[in-house]
Structure 1
Amino acid sequence: MTVRPTHTLCPHAPVPALPSQGLIGVIAPAGPAALDTDKAIAWMRERGYSLRVYPGVYERDGYLAGSDEVRLNDLHAAFADSEVDAIICLRGGYGTPRLLDRIDFDLLRCNAKPFIGYSDITALHLAISRYAGFVTFHGPMLNADLLNEKQKPTESSFFNMLRGQVKAGSVLTHPVAYPLTTIEPGIAHGRLSGGNLSMIAATMGTPYQMDAEGVILFIEDINEPLYRIDRLLTHLRLAGTLHKLRGVLVGDIAGVEAPALERLLKQTFAPLRIPVLSGWRSGHCNPNLTLPMGALVRLDAGSKELVLEQDVVIKS
């Protein structure tokens, strides 16, 4: 069994837990979508929460949810608002990277709180990890997931993580109905980072690229054929990113057949002699499980386990 080296990694700071009867802010940093506000408010109220919907959610600027200025202002306002306990994104799409060089990361750091999204929102996870240093959550978005009535593990994983019911030492729950596949066995300790593979590659060479040193890389994607997944992974290899990793957790790669994907993963990662576990239900899939980005974790690919090694939220 391969155990990757465990030199000290500075853990990302936990964020305040989502309290009961808390207020959740809704922003749209990427693409537009029609929000049924009454349905969203009722859905959250049934679970004990209220919503604050920011203006850009109701705007549309072509393929963007409002102008860059509107979407940036919403991001800053939601973090600065002391009444807002957590921030969830409306949907992904395109547009989040356009905001990165204008974000006030000091404001985010001083007002750290749970921030949730995936897909195009990966750009914000990577940037917050590098410049603000607190844990964020790769998890369901309001329109595409929670209001779309995805399977129960989507909701339970989301709330259990944010409320602090998943603590340091916990094995993250994965539905038995969706078997995991060991691509390369072994155990690795590191900081969980990544998200949408296309977005990880798109930020390479920018100040917002993933800091891969000592990382357990998580990847997922959709609407990318196998040859393009190959291209994206090759891009990361040639950029020197893959050689810095301690392990890899592969989420849902929607539209690619499992045997072909497993063959590509083995070709890519076997030479690196790091553990690789595939099939984790997180991303553009149902259910869509919440993962704490920036948190210290232990990946045991042989035993098909992901273990949280730090508290990711703190209760007041």
Structure 2
Amino acid sequence: MALTPHHPVPALPIEGLIGVIAPAGPAPLDTEKATQWMRARGHELRIFPGVYEKDGYLAGSDDTRLNDLHAAFADPEIKAIICLRGGYGTPRLLDRIDFDLIRRNPKPFIGYSDITALHLAINRYTGFVTFHGPLLNADLLGDKEPPTVTSFFSLLRGQVKAGSALNHPAAYPLTTVGPGIAHGRLLGGNLSIIAATMGTPYQIDAEGVILFIEDVNEPLYRIDRLLTQLRLAGTLAKLRGVLVGDIAGVDLEALNRLLKQTFAPLRIPVLSGWRSGHCDPNLTLPMGALVTLDAGEKRLVLEQDVVVSR
């Protein structure tokens, strides 16, 4: 079955203004540090009000966080949107999002962890590429290894073209759990959030997908339970391949054994150990993009441009 590519978004231009929103949990932001960090790389920041708010385990009320999301997409001066942190909160917004507004204002949208809920919803209801990549606080301002920043800017600025393999640092070996080559649309993110959206209008459309998964603070038995939920829901049977990111805190040998048990009956390629998620470095991945996964050769190749020149 041929897959229609998700639409690329306008590239982040040199000196393009970047919006900062907090659609999930709260975190203190050193505004001066953030501003200087971005200016050193050629960009100014526009920080939205909810970034400075705290409502228990949420960064501001649902109304505040939703308004910031809409305002950041609607603002024509903002050329990309990055999230402050993950935590929890984005699933509460999904049934109130104005997807028509977002569809009319495509731009790079970046985050991970709880932000996965927004990736899934935007991918499904707008049809354009988003970016599973660093958060402002934990990653860009957290002095993570250089590939974190290099991967982020090279994808958003359009320096990685269709036909290029995404770079993965040799210092972090990948593991072929299931050999083979698959062509499909890369979708996914945080495994817990993927499972939490099952049975909702925002669940992952897995037909023809290369599933990317990552997680943190989940012991192996919970990873097993989450994968089993996706298997029983019929999601795994629709996949063409699987790319496994960092499953922080889980023994790698035990994880790969579980992955083999889960995916071997499906006879699809599975590549494990991609440094994306709650890890250092945290590499950016284009969600919704057509890719080729070669698990045997341990390569992930872009089959479409994910940004276009403005």
Q: TM-score range by the shorter chain?
A: over 0.9
Q: Which residue matches 1:69?
A: 63
Aligned ranges for residues 31-180 of structure 1 at < 5 Å?
A: 31-180=25-174
Q: Equivalents in 2 of 1:130, 1:171: separation in Å? A: 25
- SS of residue in 2 equivalent to 1:183: strand
Q: Which residue matches 1:214?
A: 208
Q: Equivalents in 1 of 2:124, 2:72: separation in Å? A: 20
Q: CA deviation at 1:272?
A: 0.1
Q: Which residue matches 2:182?
A: 188
| Matching residue's letter, 2:175 | T
- SS of residue in 1 equivalent to 2:262: helix
The answer to whether the aligner puts 1:205 opposite 2:166 as a matched pair is no
Gaps of 5+ in 2: none
Q: CA deviation at 1:240?
A: 0.1
Counterpart selection for 1:15 from 9, 13, 18: 9
Using structure 2 for the length normalisation, give the TM-score: 1.00
Q: CA deviation at 1:180?
A: 0.2
Q: CA deviation at 1:160?
A: 0.2
Q: CA deviation at 1:299?
A: 0.1
Q: Equivalents in 1 of 2:70, 2:239: separation in Å? A: 32
- SS of residue in 2 equivalent to 1:38: helix
| Matching residue's letter, 1:301 | A
Q: CA deviation at 1:12?
A: 0.5
Q: Equivalents in 2 of 1:92, 1:141: separation in Å? A: 8
Q: Equivalents in 1 of 2:29, 2:40: separation in Å? A: 18
| Matching residue's letter, 2:115 | I
Q: Equivalents in 1 of 2:231, 2:130: separation in Å? A: 26
- SS of residue in 2 equivalent to 1:85: strand
Q: Which residue matches 1:4?
A: none
Query: For each residue in 1:168-207, what CA deviation from the matched residue of structure 2 results, as whole angstroms up to 9, or x when unmatched?
Result: 0000000000000000000000000000000000000000
Using structure 1 for the length normalisation, give the TM-score: 0.98
| Matching residue's letter, 2:291 | V
| Matching residue's letter, 2:265 | P
- SS of residue in 1 equivalent to 2:247: strand
Gaps of 5+ in 1: 1-6
Q: Equivalents in 2 of 1:211, 1:124: separation in Å? A: 14
Q: CA deviation at 1:242?
A: 0.1
Q: Equivalents in 1 of 2:86, 2:126: separation in Å? A: 21
Q: Which residue matches 1:261?
A: 255
Q: CA deviation at 1:235?
A: 0.1
Q: Which residue matches 1:235?
A: 229
Q: Which residue matches 1:224?
A: 218
| Matching residue's letter, 1:271 | P
| Matching residue's letter, 1:114 | P
Q: Equivalents in 2 of 1:149, 1:23: separation in Å? A: 22
Q: CA deviation at 1:77?
A: 0.1
Query: For each residue in 1:238-279, what CA deviation from the matched residue of structure 2 results, as whole angstroms up to 9, or x when unmatched?
Result: 000000000000000000001100100000000000000000
The answer to whether the aligner puts 1:275 opposite 2:240 as a matched pair is no
Q: Equivalents in 1 of 2:164, 2:48: separation in Å? A: 35
RMSD: 0.3
Q: CA deviation at 1:50?
A: 0.3
Q: Equivalents in 1 of 2:286, 2:169: separation in Å? A: 18
Q: Which runs of 4+ in 1 moved over 6 A?
A: none
Q: Equivalents in 2 of 1:263, 1:184: separation in Å? A: 11
Q: CA deviation at 1:150?
A: 0.2
Q: Which residue matches 2:302?
A: 308
| Matching residue's letter, 1:44 | M
Q: CA deviation at 1:164?
A: 0.1
